[in-house]
Amino acid sequence: MQRIMPILPITDLRNQAKEVLSQAQHEPVVITQNGRPSAVLINYALYNQLVERIQKLEAERQAERAEWSRMSEAALMRVWDNPLDAVYDDWRALYGTQTR
């Protein structure tokens, strides 16, 4: 079960900045403005870990897409360059049908 993050109004951040920043070192803190979530405070090391993880996942995703593209192109080239399939390129001649 996921733990709920502490939620504080922005006035608490203004009035107790040091305490709120200290709390954010241990767990993310949601800051609200007019009763609605506005920001999340997290410690700097956690922020860097999240950014690195996102960058790594994005790089993996791009590499995977490039590999799928390469494999797809290779498969299409095998089909297009297959001399045995060339007979089907002109199916009208193969079946003796007239063109319009």
Is it the case that residue 80 has pLDDT exceeding 70? no
Confidence of residue 85 (pLDDT cuts 50, 70, 90): low
pLDDT at residue 92 in the model: 64
- The sign one gets for the Cα dihedral 6, 26, 42, 3 is negative
Domain boundaries defined on the chain: 7-42, 44-80
pLDDT digits (tens, 9 = 90+) for 7-65: 999 999 999 999 999 999 999 999 999 999 999 999 999 999 999 999 999 999 999 99
Helix (H, G, I), strand (E, B) or coil at 34: coil
Confidence (pLDDT) at 69: 85
Domain 7-42 has CATH 3.40.1620.10: yes
Average pLDDT of the chain, as a whole number: 85
